[in-house]
A and B are shown apart, each in its own frame.
Chain A
Amino acid sequence: MIKLWEGKREKLNFFTAVAFLLPNMVGFLCFTAGPVLLSLYMSFTNWSLKPSVELQWVGLRNYVDLFGDKDFWFYLYNTFYFMIGIPFAVAGSLFLANLLVDSMYLRNNKLRVSLAVLTLVVGFVTCTFLFASGRKDLSLILGVFYIGAASGVFWGSVSYRTMLYVPSFASGVATIILWQQVFNPYHGLANNLLGSFLDMVGIEASLPVWLQSTQNMLGFLPLPKNFSSGGFGLGAREAIMIMGFWMGIGGNNMIMYIASIASIPQSYYEAADIDGANSVAKFFHITVPSVAPTTFFIAIMSTIGGLQGGFQFAKIMTNGGPAGTTTTLAYYIYTAGFEELKLGYASAVAWALFTIVFALTLVNWKYGNRRMEAA
């Protein structure tokens, strides 16, 4: 039998430790484990906030309804659709981390300051000229570019890491409002740039209306009618994916990759140099396999996050529309539970989502882990 303490002092220490842990444990049991188990039980009932509905055990009825619920499949499809962006965001994070892992810091103070000032001056002149000639968007973008370049020259790669990490700690609501303006179909930055690009290459095409459109990149697929596909094109889903990509690329994933790349022994790269490997070869044959455990971790976390995500965007940015195209399962759980008061059904949707998350994590674990070990 395990002895938890020996002697009076250890006994006192044990109970002191328990006393300190107790608030957390009680909180966890009451507000996390308890509700989770309760929701599992409730998913087999007709739980409703309406007192006219007496609580009854309904067995698998909610799950049967769920399989016949066209909206559930549509919102599940939306959820997976948004996850298409995840591999790109992860690859982008790795690419950025690889660029920013070295300090890139000029040791000569005089040269550093002079170069930074010169960059700012050139930037100011260029942007003023562009602004005066009516290219306001381009001048704005170049302005940001020059300020970024000047701060990079002055502070080194740390400034880029900080800048890229900003979306992770910036207020979600504020960034969403900002992106709403970016995707404004007539005056937003997205369409101004896209329009300029199309003009440049001589293509005449109507610009997307982004958040107000049901078009999507998989709009050519023969999907069920209720999937609200407005045909092939860029629409609300793509707008949210681009925003998610922007938020994800320089966030925690990049930081984890930087830490991971920094721990790769330098001797690997030196050996590759001797063998005449170029930068691309070193990246694919040394960096990528060496950070495989990190990639594996990020892949699992991103999959889980992706399946549970979308609530914030749907609630603030689009209200789940247009025509439900930005409603994810997380948002559906909220509307079913707290707007339509069907808490039992919402619990069933939540557990269905959990099952999908769990199954995908297992698949990831089984096959991803094997590849990681091979690497």
Chain B
Amino acid sequence: MKYFLLGVLALLSVLYIVAKATAPAKAIGDKIPLVWTTDPNPERVPQVDAFNKMFPDCHLSIDPDNSGVMKVVVQSSANMGPDIIGQVTVGGSYETYNDAGILWDVTEEAKKMGFGPDTLPAEIADLVMLPVLTEAGTVEKRQFVYPCNVYHKYIIYNKNLFDQYNVPYPSQDLTWEEYLDLAKRLTIYGESKEIPKVFGGMGITADEVIWGKGGAFLNESGTRCTLDSKEAIEAMVFVHSLYHKHQVEPTPAVKAGVTLQGGWGGNINWLGQGKLGMLWGARWMLVQLRRFNLEQEKAKAEWIRNNPDAEQYEGPEVLRLGACLVPRFKDAKRYNGYGARSAGINKMGKNREKALNFLQYLASKEYSDLINLGADSKPGNKDYISIEQFRHPDFQGEDEVHQVAIDAIPYSRRRRSSMFVPSPVIERHFAKVKDKIISSAQLSPEDIAGLMKDATATINLEIARNIKRNPKARKAYDALRKQGAEAISIKLEDM
């Protein structure tokens, strides 16, 4: 037996040597290899090619299999991480990567190389910055990333549906009253009394409602969770009414019912197929919606070819899109969420200086043009955000969608993050509240207030614990207090 096993070992060794010897070598010559962890989106191919052309001494490649947050953290901590950390999301993995200490502070380099926060639209310049405790004992905002693309939330609607049911298009100064009215008028029931055949609207997120009512998730310095405020509670009561009283936002159960019915497969497809009137989204939706445009134009041409004598076109309609800003409450300010998929540099990376070229590339015209043409939301650099640059020669009639993507910028708002509690913790507790609100029609405003207060108390306890137990967090807290930050809601001495 042992000779057999030794034989197997010898055979495997020989096969390994053969495989190693015959494996195709990476033809990068003396170029400096750079690895970017990101998704395997087909758009990455031209993006990588353009970079390699722009910086011929570097060879950029993507690593789609190791882009998960935990993989990047663990591999980078072991000095095996990528050079460029992609898929960094503000209010999510940005804080996690920074907490893990693997992102390189590029504030000074960014200024010199032209990809600092001043290159972003002023309203979102804060996007790339994170508060950190300096050696001098103060809290300062520093830059660690640059956006690959930026999105702003707004509403894209199907004009054909509005025309078909004689409903006026949404106004550019949309209010919640108007939105509810339009969404109700466009919610059309067919045979089924439970699932509409046409949905008026879809995709409302609680964030915009909370901000619109004057509430917030955290206070400005991140020392307190403020979801128990009167405004935030009112907002969630309103969210409850959207699902259950007004029924202008389908519950997951209703959505699941629709998904199976004919296999539509997702909100964007529903909009493209004329089953949904208004969809909360962003410019990136055009990536999918353009496919409908192509298919429907083809069907139209075929109809005309088959009906040469027809006096009037009666074939399938081609999708016509409109866009408007998200609604605001009467006499209140409008807010729309925004976010970005960003990239940062691994502090421990062997070629981190060269990787700076990549962040510089993200702010370049070459990269921005690719983002604009592909409709992959918007580039970060404000110099390349304009309706002329957004236009694609093959897709006419998108100007409204492009324009609102720009109009939404002044109303930008995103969830605040805290140095004292990870964003996933806030999200976990808030998601529970949301789930209960969505799944239970019977909840009273008092019940909702109770849920919000419980979630807030738990998050505030977590903040207090972290400050009490982590000396570095305590230092940051003391520094923030000196800089005028609000105190936490629990007395540290009482803990």
Are both chains from one complex?
A: yes
- A binding-site residues for B, Cβ under 8 Å: 16, 20, 46, 49-54, 58, 65, 70, 181, 184-188, 209, 211-214, 225-226, 228, 230, 321-324, 335, 338-341
Cβ distance A357 to chain B, nearest Cβ, rounded Å: 25
Which chain B residue shows the least CB distance to A69? B458
* Listed stretches B111-119, B121-129, B233-241, B468-476; interface member: B468-476
Cross-chain contact A341 with B469 (CB below 8 angstroms): no
From A187, A209, A225, A338, give the contact of B454 (CB < 8 A). A225
From A49, A53, A212, A335, give the contact of B253 (CB < 8 A). A212
* Listed stretches B15-23, B180-188, B254-262, B311-319; interface member: B254-262
Cross-chain contact B101 with A186 (CB below 8 angstroms): no
* Chain B residue contacts of A338, Cβ below 8 A: 70
From A52, A58, A186, give the contact of B256 (CB < 8 A). A186
Cross-chain contact B257 with A321 (CB below 8 angstroms): no
Q: A46-B469, A322-B435 are in contact. Are A186 and B194 (CB under 8 A)?
A: yes
- B binding-site residues for A, Cβ under 8 Å: 2, 5, 70, 73-74, 77, 96, 99-101, 192, 194-195, 251-254, 256-257, 259-261, 422, 424-425, 428, 431-432, 435-436, 438-440, 450, 454, 458, 465, 469-473
> What's the Cα separation between A46 and B428 when bound, in Å?
21
Cross-chain contact A340 with B424 (CB below 8 angstroms): yes
* Chain B residue contacts of A341, Cβ below 8 A: 96, 99-100, 422
> What's the Cα separation between A340 and B428 when bound, in Å?
10
Cross-chain contact A323 with B73 (CB below 8 angstroms): no
Cβ distance A21 to chain B, nearest Cβ, rounded Å: 12
> What's the Cα separation between A205 and B471 when bound, in Å?
58
Which chain B residue shows the least CB distance to A235? B439
Q: A52-B473, A321-B435 are in contact. Are A20 and B251 (CB under 8 A)?
A: no
* Chain B residue contacts of A184, Cβ below 8 A: 256-257, 259-260
Which chain B residue shows the least CB distance to A236? B439
Q: A209-B253, A214-B436 are in contact. Are A52 and B2 (CB under 8 A)?
A: no
Cβ distance A173 to chain B, nearest Cβ, rounded Å: 17
* Chain A residue contacts of B257, Cβ below 8 A: 184-187
Cross-chain contact B100 with A230 (CB below 8 angstroms): no
* Chain A residue contacts of B96, Cβ below 8 A: 341
Cross-chain contact B424 with A339 (CB below 8 angstroms): yes
> What's the Cα separation between A213 and B99 when bound, in Å?
36
Which chain B residue shows the least CB distance to A19? B2
From A49, A181, A324, give the contact of B432 (CB < 8 A). A324
From A52, A58, A188, A339, give the contact of B472 (CB < 8 A). A52
* Chain B residue contacts of A58, Cβ below 8 A: 469
Cross-chain contact B436 with A228 (CB below 8 angstroms): yes
Q: A212-B439, A230-B439 are in contact. Are A185 and B253 (CB under 8 A)?
A: yes
From B2, B256, B436, give the contact of A323 (CB < 8 A). B436
From B73, B100, B101, B251, give the contact of A212 (CB < 8 A). B251
Extra contacts, 6 of them, besides A49-B73, A186-B261, A340-B428 (Cβ < 8 A), are A188-B260, A212-B439, A225-B450, A225-B454, A230-B440, A322-B438
> What's the Cα separation between A324 and B428 when bound, in Å?
9
Cβ distance B196 to chain A, nearest Cβ, rounded Å: 12
* Chain A residue contacts of B70, Cβ below 8 A: 338
Q: A51-B100, A225-B450, A338-B70 are in contact. Are A322 and B472 (CB under 8 A)?
A: no
> What's the Cα separation between A216 and B99 when bound, in Å?
39
Cross-chain contact B428 with A335 (CB below 8 angstroms): yes
From B100, B194, B438, B473, give the contact of A49 (CB < 8 A). B100
> What's the Cα separation between A184 and B257 when bound, in Å?
6
Q: List 24 A-B contacts (CB under 8 A).
A: A46-B469, A49-B73, A49-B74, A49-B77, A52-B101, A52-B470, A58-B469, A184-B260, A185-B253, A186-B260, A187-B257, A187-B260, A209-B251, A213-B253, A214-B435, A225-B450, A230-B436, A230-B439, A321-B435, A323-B432, A335-B428, A340-B422, A340-B424, A340-B425
